[in-house]
Amino acid sequence: MKLETGGALYFIENNSNNQTAFNSLAAPADIFDYEERTAAAYVSGSRDLNKKWSIKAGLRYENIYLKGTSLSLGQQNSSQYGELFPTGFIAFKPNANNTLSFAYSRRIEKPIFYYLNPYRIYIDSYSYTSGNPYLLPSFSQNLELSETYANNLTIAISRSVVTNGIDYVTLFATNTSQTVSMPENYLTQKNYNLDLSYTLPLNWVNSYNSLDVSYITANSNNNTVAIPDLNGFGAYYSTRNSVSLNKKKSTFFIINYTQRFPTTTGFYKFDSRSSVDVGLKFKAIKRKVQANILIADLFKNNYTNGTRQYVSVAQHISSYNDQRMLSVSLSYNFGNKKAAVNAKPVTTADQNRAIL
């Protein structure tokens, strides 16, 4: 058996200072400092039982300390907890073109930073939204069965159960017009997914296509607000294409398209939305130099519109986070291409939580 072990330390600081002069009912500035420290260790083992069967299992432990300080409100909150995350994987390869695998994992999703900020943002004299400094992470148990054929077609069936899930809840004060929205740990969600992905085996185009069909059930354990259970289907389609424009295959036209069909997520029903990206890619000097030009969300169609149903009130949301942009990148690869490299990639999922 091949054994592997390792560890990691994460230190995250996030500081925000938002001036809110228009927000006359709140403090004049929203100053929030966030600190997070994570110590993690893991061990995993893998083994090829024979030419057709292989297995892998692992266990990761995380100890997390977090502290949020609202300087505007003079309020500080902190918490610390440790969790174990097991994983398991078994693969069966009956021939050169087929691989059947089964996987299990337990995962954690930590709150986005601004979810923990208790500062109130008033929409009008009667309504405000705020974070919840007492939020805890949510957890999921995941099972997946997948089949891969010829390294370009994958079919996967999966089921996941999210507990202690985070979602906003709106409180409607009795006999008044006041409403308060804040995130809480009250969601239990079950996801059933069918995923299809296919890469076209053509020389003149690199085309990766995926389709995800889901059925989701959501249940609330909130004791303050009665929220009806919700279930429904959803679907997502994506195609990413790189088309060669010359015989040397040094110039490519890029076109990407995503389509989200009407979908149920948590306690919301969302309308469909789409996005189109176009661009060019150039390779030169024996493909060591690569330049990319990309325009994202060309037609400005990536809007979010949804509805949430309480017992006697329907809540509608509409938002557009402008993702249209022109990006230009230039890269140069150097060194010995034949050199053997065995390196662990560094992920930045925790850092991305700061800007979501």
Least-confidence region, from 35-39, 335-339, 347-351, 352-356: 352-356
Q: Taking 80 as the threshold, does the pLDDT of residue 27 lie above it?
A: no
Q: What is the pLDDT of residues 284-323, one digit of tens each?
A: 877 789 999 999 999 888 888 999 888 778 888 888 878 7
Q: How do the domains of the chain map onto residue ranges?
A: 86-339+348-352
- Average pLDDT, integer, range 45-51: 94
Side-chain-side CA neighbours of 52 within 13 Å: the count stands at 6
Q: Taking 80 as the threshold, does the pLDDT of residue 188 lie above it?
A: yes
Per-residue pLDDT at 203:
83
| Residue 80 one-letter amino acid | Q
Q: Taking 60 as the threshold, does the pLDDT of residue 355 lie above it?
A: no
- Average pLDDT, integer, range 254-267: 92
Compute the Cα dihedral for 141, 145, 151, 153 and give only its sign.
Answer: negative
- The better pLDDT of the pair 176, 348 is held by 176
C-alpha 217/C-alpha 160 separation (Å) is: 11
pLDDT, mean over the chain: 88
Per-residue pLDDT at 163:
95
Per-residue pLDDT at 356:
39
- The better pLDDT of the pair 175, 64 is held by 64
The two tokens of residue 237 are 């389609």
Which of 118, 109, 108, 107 has its CA nearest to residue 34?
118
C-alpha 251/C-alpha 244 separation (Å) is: 6
Q: Taking 80 as the threshold, does the pLDDT of residue 343 lie above it?
A: no
Taking the model in full, what pTM does it have?
0.82
| Cβ neighbourhood burial of 351 (10 Å; 0-12, 13-18, 19+) | exposed
Compute the Cα dihedral for 296, 299, 300, 304 and give only its sign.
Answer: negative
CATH superfamily of 86-339+348-352: TonB-dependent receptor, beta-barrel domain (2.40.170.20)
Per-residue pLDDT at 101:
96
C-alpha 169/C-alpha 62 separation (Å) is: 29
Sequence-distant (6+) residues with CB within 8 A of 127 are: 178, 179, 180, 181
